[in-house]
Structure 1
Amino acid sequence: MRDRRHFDEDDIRVRARGGSRPRTRRRPKHENARPGFVTAVDRGRYRCLVDDRPVVAMKARELGRGSIVVGDVVALVGDLSGRPGTLARVVRVEERTSVLRRTADDTDPVERVIVANADQLVIVVALADPAPQPRFIDRCLVAAYDAGLVPLLCLTKADLAPPDPLVETYSPLGLRWVVTRRDGDLSALRAHLTGRISVLVGPSGVGKSTLVNLLVPEARRAVGQVNAVTGRGRHTSTSAVALPIGAPADTGSLERLLAAREGGVDRGELDHGWIIDTPGVRSFGLAHVAPDDVVVAFPDLAEAVAECPPGCSHLPGGGCALDDWLAEGRVNPDRVASFRRLLASREGDSER
């Protein structure tokens, strides 16, 4: 029996070598790739607009785990005919000009990109049925300013309640607003949407899908009703989708809108726009926004906050200047409460 403590060359087994081709991180440049605009995402499939036709694509493995969202400008190769059953590949995501993000809640470290390359955030809020939520508006304003988007407040169902209370609160802040009603004229809203790529966000039941169907009849977005018990709407739009307004769906119209954002085209010369409808949300987490940036959405409190001591949490007590301004009646108590709720929620305290 061979002594296992002594070995010779007969005991050595050499593993067969693999191919001689060296591994490399070099990626193909895909110089012949065609540009496209992502209009919808569904379970790993991306509906992209290439020239004037929709093309379904999948993400190339070389892109790894990076996300692709509605609004992305991408480069595609493969079958770009758009025929049923064909599949192209997304090989590159171009640099984004803006990113709208949210988290599940204010303590969730994972941020989710909702939409890319938009330049306006339309905050859709019903004046009644369901009742308006100023705290939701404030959250959306924080997200808009963080993303570099211009906010627009769209107040729906004006036939059920007057817009005055919300207008009196937000118009002094320089926030643009527009009022709509059932079977009303949407020309004012259309004017705000022309020349821009706009994202529509709002709680379920506020009439967002109804607006989209009126603006783009061929969209046929599902419309739900408000629950009579909870006062909340039911989610009807389950995924984001980009739709053209006032122009045919082609990449030429999109290129002009993107150029307008960079100043290369005068918005006044454009007669079209694009909207991105998003699913109804009941919360808008802001864990990705730095506390010091939250005050940007509260310009009416900025002067008071500037008097706070260094490191101030802006919560009650601790020498916060907001306490003094409240006592003197120099700031709106509801606005201070909303501001402080946002900050407290970031620390893990539930909003009351």
Structure 2
Amino acid sequence: MVRSSRDYDESDVRIRPNRRGSRPRTKDRPKHEDAVVGRVLGVDRGRYRVRVTTPDGHHDLVAMRARELGRKGIVVGDEVHLVGDTTGAEGSLARIVRVGPRVTLLRRTADDTDPVERVLVANADQLVVVSALTNPEPRPRLIDRCLVAAYDAGMEPLLVLTKADLTDPAPFLEQYAPLSVRHVVTSRTADGIDGLEAVLDVLRGRVSVLVGHSGVGKSTLVNALVPDALRAVGVVNDVTGRGRHTSTSAVALPLPDDDGWVVDTPGVRSFGLAHVDPTRIVHHFPDLEPGTDGCPRGCTHDEEECALDAFVASGGAGPAGPSRLDSLRRLLRTRTAAGEE
């Protein structure tokens, strides 16, 4: 006998339990009190190479970011807390569940109008600006930007000048003498790099980030400092005078005897400072800052009443004063233009 639809009632319908909603939701998250602490050495397509130190030594492992971290970024140098398989065995995969507080954070933008910050490295204490003295020619304004970024991040800067075998470094160093920025000069020889030991002396016991535009010899220097690094080395184009990008991502490498770290970064052709407040920029030109005492209130340091012109004319910033003031004003103009857009 066929029953009509009117003969059915709710007792005839089977209701399947909603398994997804059967467990009460909670905002409490696991505390992961047994998490292992490690340091991020490299990032590659959503996988993180992490070094874990134990009483018996250290080992590297591969980890992924836990969903509970959301969109929180993880970069080279971060201290992370891991759970899961932290043995580092082949095929194992740990989970990063927490990121520790950052002491320093080196950032840059594509240009001075780009609102998107690109974090290079966390928890480094020294920014090493590598520049060739020739082939390619040094770029003082790029170096100035790197120095501003270092001071703003609370990092100590260091200049490493390469290819001193091709030209005298003295004229270039005169530009930075008033800043008292530490520097090391290196040159190529038949036996390797002259001045390498001096570079090692200022890197030992520290976490140092190496930054420089392509072709300056940064990767050659890294390979000499860390012989098993095997960083690709590029050449300088004879027509454009520019180098080819060889490092594609930041990577932390241990110095011999684990006495410090160097972080090699991809070659840069620009170093935007959109994240730096324009009113603070002049404070990062310590050779010029004393000259601002005579400036009128609210001085932009790029106007007729600015006292920096007289300060530089009197030799207050040394022989390099005019070029340094020009660099400051170029930087301020780009930042002011970015703020007006």
Give yes or no for TM over 0.5: yes
Distance 1:39 1:301, change over 3 A: same
Instruction: Verify the 8 A CA contact 1:38 1:71 in the aligned structure 2.
Output: yes
Of 57, 68, 75, 2:63 maps to 57
Instruction: Verify the 8 A CA contact 1:316 1:323 in the aligned structure 2.
Output: no
CA–CA distance in structure 2, aligned partners of residues 60 and 134 of structure 1: 42
The alpha carbon displacement at 1:24 in A equals 2.7
* Counterpart check, 1:309 vs 2:309: no
* Counterpart check, 1:226 vs 2:236: yes
Rg (Cα) greater in structure: 2
Instruction: Verify the 8 A CA contact 1:107 1:347 in the aligned structure 2.
Output: no
The alpha carbon displacement at 1:225 in A equals 0.1
* Counterpart check, 1:196 vs 2:182: no
* Counterpart check, 1:323 vs 2:309: yes
TM-score, normalised by the number of residues in structure 1: 0.85
* Counterpart check, 1:242 vs 2:252: yes
- What letter is aligned with 2:196? L
* Counterpart check, 1:344 vs 2:333: yes
Of 133, 148, 152, 1:146 maps to 152
The alpha carbon displacement at 1:228 in A equals 0.9
Distance 1:22 1:307, change over 3 A: farther
Tell me what 2:102 maps to: 96
The alpha carbon displacement at 1:292 in A equals 2.2
Residues 1-352 of structure 1 aligned to structure 2 (within 5 Å):
19-51=21-53, 52-182=58-188, 183=192, 184-248=194-258, 272-317=259-304, 319-328=305-314, 330-331=316-317, 332-348=321-337
CA–CA distance in structure 1, aligned partners of residues 249 and 37 of structure 2: 23
Instruction: Verify the 8 A CA contact 2:82 2:96 in the aligned structure 1.
Output: yes
- What letter is aligned with 1:39? L
CA–CA distance in structure 2, aligned partners of residues 295 and 98 of structure 1: 21
Instruction: Verify the 8 A CA contact 2:185 2:195 in the aligned structure 1.
Output: no
Instruction: Verify the 8 A CA contact 1:46 1:56 in the aligned structure 2.
Output: yes
The alpha carbon displacement at 1:330 in A equals 4.2
CA–CA distance in structure 2, aligned partners of residues 344 and 312 of structure 1: 13
The alpha carbon displacement at 1:289 in A equals 0.6
CA–CA distance in structure 2, aligned partners of residues 297 and 118 of structure 1: 19
Instruction: Verify the 8 A CA contact 1:171 1:177 in the aligned structure 2.
Output: no
CA–CA distance in structure 2, aligned partners of residues 110 and 22 of structure 1: 39
Instruction: Verify the 8 A CA contact 2:184 2:195 in the aligned structure 1.
Output: no
Instruction: Verify the 8 A CA contact 1:145 1:296 in the aligned structure 2.
Output: no
CA–CA distance in structure 1, aligned partners of residues 16 and 316 of structure 2: 80
- What letter is aligned with 2:260? G
The alpha carbon displacement at 1:154 in A equals 0.5
What is the CA deviation profile of residues 319-350 of structure 1, one whole-angstrom value per residue up to 9, with x for unaligned ones?
A: 1112333455544110100000111111237x
Structure 1 residue runs without a partner (length 5+):
1-9, 249-271
Instruction: Verify the 8 A CA contact 2:152 2:284 in the aligned structure 1.
Output: no
Q: Helix, strand or coil: the match of 1:48?
A: strand
Instruction: Verify the 8 A CA contact 2:247 2:265 in the aligned structure 1.
Output: yes
CA–CA distance in structure 2, aligned partners of residues 53 and 329 of structure 1: 55
CA–CA distance in structure 2, aligned partners of residues 196 and 57 of structure 1: 25
TM-score, normalised by the number of residues in structure 2: 0.88
CA–CA distance in structure 2, aligned partners of residues 157 and 70 of structure 1: 29
Residue-pair matches, total? 315
The alpha carbon displacement at 1:25 in A equals 2.5
What is the CA deviation profile of residues 249-294 of structure 1, one whole-angstrom value per residue up to 9, with x for unaligned ones?
A: xxxxxxxxxxxxxxxxxxxxxxx11110101001111011111221
CA–CA distance in structure 2, aligned partners of residues 297 and 214 of structure 1: 32
CA–CA distance in structure 1, aligned partners of residues 59 and 313 of structure 2: 61
- What letter is aligned with 2:215? G
Instruction: Verify the 8 A CA contact 2:278 2:336 in the aligned structure 1.
Output: no
CA–CA distance in structure 1, aligned partners of residues 16 and 241 of structure 2: 69
Q: Helix, strand or coil: the match of 1:189?
A: helix
Larger RCO, structure (CA 8 Å, separation 6 or more): 1
CA–CA distance in structure 1, aligned partners of residues 67 and 24 of structure 2: 19
Once superposed, what is the RMSD of the aligned Cα atoms? 2.0
CA–CA distance in structure 2, aligned partners of residues 313 and 185 of structure 1: 42
